[in-house]
């Protein structure tokens, strides 16, 4: 059970106590965005995933993921395309449109639960690799708005 009264300064101090504490902080609803950004690049993949899925990071995560897939940020900071696709619907949708994605991953994304991800993977498998823009309503769903 999370203590909702913990202050951000206390959470920052807790994050220095090891991987288990960092994981708990990454799940905390009052974790500050700056700390979550640092945890999103943690050595421990469990901590990294928890931080990246925190609602406070949705906008930053979308920009960061776009930068990784566009080659402006090293992919090893967040993981492989397979890792990135597991971070949620928006991540899977962007990964499906990445030129670096493998055909095997694209075929797995064809079975994704979300229609926009399936459409993007199908478009990537077709000649010309046409990117399928998501309608505004779908993009809001992907971002969790």
**Mean pLDDT of the 8-31 span:** 87
Task: Answer yes or no: is 124 within a domain.
Answer: yes
Nearest to 119 by CA among 85, 83, 98, 93: 93
Task: Answer yes or no: is 68 within a domain.
Answer: no
pTM of the complete model? 0.53
Task: Answer yes or no: is 107 within a domain.
Answer: yes
Same domain assignment for residues 43 and 88: no
Instruction: Please tell me the total count of domains within the chain.
Output: 2
pLDDT tens readout for residues 45-66: 788 878 877 877 767 776 777 7
Mean pLDDT (the chain) is 78
- Residue 48, SS3 per DSSP: helix
Answer with the residue of higher pLDDT: 134 or 62: 62
Task: Answer yes or no: is 73 within a domain.
Answer: no
The answer to whether residue 108 scores a pLDDT higher than 90 is yes
Give the separation between CA 145 and CA 125, rounded to whole angstroms. 29
Task: Answer yes or no: is 59 within a domain.
Answer: no
- Residue 76, SS3 per DSSP: helix
121, 106 contact by CB (below 8 A):
yes
Residue 28 half-sphere exposure toward CB, CA atoms < 13 A: 27
Residue 130: its pLDDT value, please?
Answer: 56
The answer to whether residue 7 scores a pLDDT higher than 80 is yes
* Domain carrying residue 36: 8-53
Same domain assignment for residues 41 and 96: no
The answer to whether residue 1 scores a pLDDT higher than 60 is no
Token digits for 117?
């991800």
pLDDT tens readout for residues 84-107: 777 777 778 878 887 778 889 999
Q: What is the largest CA-CA distance in the chain?
A: 54
Same domain assignment for residues 84 and 127: yes
């Amino acid at each position: 059970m999370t203590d909702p009264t913990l202050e951000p300064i206390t959470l920052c101090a807790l994050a220095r106590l090891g991987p288990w504490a960092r994981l708990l902080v990454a799940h905390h609803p009052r974790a500050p965005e700056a700390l979550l950004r640092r945890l999103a690049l943690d050595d421990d993949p469990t901590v990294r995933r928890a931080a990246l899925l925190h609602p406070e990071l949705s906008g930053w995560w979308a920009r960061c993921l776009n930068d990784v897939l566009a080659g402006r940020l090293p992919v090893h900071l967040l993981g492989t395309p397979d890792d990135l696709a597991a971070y949620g619907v928006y991540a899977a949708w962007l990964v499906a449109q990445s030129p670096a994605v493998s055909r095997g991953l694209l075929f797995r994304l064809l079975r994704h639960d979300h229609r926009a991800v399936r459409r993007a993977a199908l478009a990537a498998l077709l000649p010309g690799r046409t990117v399928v823009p998501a309608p505004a309503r779908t993009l809001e769903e992907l971002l969790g708005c």
